[in-house]
Amino acid sequence: MKGGSASGSFEIRPDDVRIIRALQIAPRASFAAMAAALGLTESTVNRRYRHLCAEGVIRVAGVVNPGALGQSRWLVRLRCRPGGVEAIAGALAQRDDVNWVAVGAAGSEVTCATQSRDDAQREELLGRRLPRAAAVLDVNAYAMLRQFMGGRGHYWAALHGTLSPEQEVMLAGEEPPFTETPVVAGDPVRLTAEDERLLAALAADGRAGLVDLAKAADSTPGRVSRRLSTLLRQRVVYIDVEIAPAALGFHARANLWLRVHPSEVKNAGRALAREPEIAFAAAISGPYNVHAVAHCRDFDELFEFTTDRIGALPGLQSMEVSPVLRHVKQAGALVSGDRLVGSVGLVGPHRSRTRT
């Protein structure tokens, strides 16, 4: 696995990639546990982790799964007037009900993902604010119907093979079999005020210790430990290791919009989830019924991947490859120059931002 340079003064080392992989497997593992598995010293793991975070290469954060709370999720494609893209993308990135925003390579398209806590909030954004924005020419919104990949439990597979099977077992045991995720739970979880404080603390630092989490939640370490275990088991929250792909050498990114025969949508989504280049895949409503996000090293690799492997999917009827010029926000983290530079909290059951 070859790394890249995150900045002029920070070079990604092979041990850095191994640390990132260890975090994918066990994001809250202690530095001592990671050091034992990787054959490094605890101080080295601690130091390199903090450098990776400071340089915007990675960010470990607790991410709320809106489906577990009964919240709907939508993908939105906006066609904008020339000169209006930056303002629209920037305004969307500041909303805490929008968790990622990308500008298309053509320079006139913005793609974003929203998670609405209720019908009123969804209508406020998709039905009123965006259609009335002067810079927006066209709005297409697609409901997310089934998530095949993305989030904790089936993460971006580009780093598979970085560690030996024995090292992965030392960190977390055998990886659980892949199970796709229903987007909206049939029996939504109701959060308490203490839960919300706990989740807010995890959003700021997914590796925060129990003492710090207890202080933030106005609780005790024992109670926080038990409640966090419950929320993780219920899939209300997962600990995400957000990666700046370009820092690891993946410079060609694209949204893939696939039209697949209805009888093959599940198989196509499951096949996409196994591809190392795919960071996200879901079934959606609309003329394109499968959406995926691909990260490749360059456009030639993207071409080979989409023609040889995606193009051979059974049931594929058509495909649009939409290169991403830049990400403005990903998984709640603001992005600048392919670096993670900060975060905007995601909406909870009782909080929202309404500016666009």
How does residue 154 score in pLDDT terms, banded at 50, 70 and 90? Answer: very low
Residue 283: what pLDDT?
Answer: 96
How does residue 173 score in pLDDT terms, banded at 50, 70 and 90? Answer: low
Q: Which residues of 283-301 are buried (b: 16+ CB within 10 A; e: fewer)?
A: bbeeebbbbbbbbbbeeeb
How does residue 96 score in pLDDT terms, banded at 50, 70 and 90? Answer: confident
How does residue 64 score in pLDDT terms, banded at 50, 70 and 90? Answer: confident
Task: Report residue 196: phi and psi, to 5°.
Answer: -65, -40
Please indicate, yes or no, if residue 41 is contained in any of the structural domains. Answer: no
Residue 214 tokens read as 């207890």
Residue 97: what pLDDT?
Answer: 86
Q: Report whether pLDDT(145) > 90.
A: yes
Query: Could you read off the pLDDT of 114-129 as tens digits, one per residue?
Result: 987 677 777 888 888 8
**Do residues 27 and 239 make contact, with C-beta atoms less than 8 angstroms apart?**
yes
Please indicate, yes or no, if residue 8 is contained in any of the structural domains. Answer: no
Q: Report whether pLDDT(279) > 50.
A: yes
Average pLDDT of span 126-150? 88
Residue 152: what pLDDT?
Answer: 44
**Do residues 63 and 85 make contact, with C-beta atoms less than 8 angstroms apart?**
no
Look up the CATH number of the domain holding residue 332: 3.30.70.3460
How does residue 282 score in pLDDT terms, banded at 50, 70 and 90? Answer: very high
Residue 124: what pLDDT?
Answer: 83
Q: Report whether pLDDT(67) > 80.
A: yes
Q: How many domains does the chain have?
A: 1
CA atoms within 13 A on the CB side of 222: 0
Parent domain of 320: 62-189+234-349
Average pLDDT of span 310-334? 92
Rounding to the nearest 10 degrees, give the CA dihedral for residues 329, 330, 333, 334: -20
Please indicate, yes or no, if residue 298 is contained in any of the structural domains. Answer: yes
The span from the CA of 224 to the CA of 218, in Å, is 9
Q: Report whether pLDDT(331) > 70.
A: yes
Q: Report whether pLDDT(336) > 80.
A: yes
Residue 285 tokens read as 């409503």
Q: Report whether pLDDT(353) > 50.
A: no
Average pLDDT of span 181-203? 88
How does residue 63 score in pLDDT terms, banded at 50, 70 and 90? Answer: confident
Q: Report whether pLDDT(180) > 80.
A: no
Residue 179: what pLDDT?
Answer: 59
Range picked from 119-123, 127-131, 133-137, 345-349 for highest mean pLDDT: 133-137
Query: Could you read off the pLDDT of 34-58 as tens digits, one per residue?
Result: 999 999 999 999 999 999 999 999 9
Average pLDDT of span 220-229? 96
Residue 209 tokens read as 């210790």
- Mean of pLDDT over the chain: 86
Query: Could you read off the pLDDT of 238-273 as tens digits, one per residue?
Result: 888 888 988 888 999 999 999 999 999 999 999 998
Please indicate, yes or no, if residue 323 is contained in any of the structural domains. Answer: yes
The span from the CA of 225 to the CA of 212, in Å, is 11
Please indicate, yes or no, if residue 199 is contained in any of the structural domains. Answer: no
Higher pLDDT among residues 185 and 288, named by residue: 288
Q: Report whether pLDDT(355) > 50.
A: no
Q: Report whether pLDDT(150) > 80.
A: no
Residue 157: what pLDDT?
Answer: 64
Please indicate, yes or no, if residue 341 is contained in any of the structural domains. Answer: yes
Average pLDDT of span 210-235? 94
CA atoms within 13 A on the CB side of 153: 19
Average pLDDT of span 176-198? 79
Q: Report whether pLDDT(354) > 50.
A: no
Average pLDDT of span 206-232? 96
The one-letter amino acid at 68: A
Please indicate, yes or no, if residue 275 is contained in any of the structural domains. Answer: yes
The span from the CA of 134 to the CA of 156, in Å, is 37
Cα 154-155-158 angle, rounded to 5 deg: 125
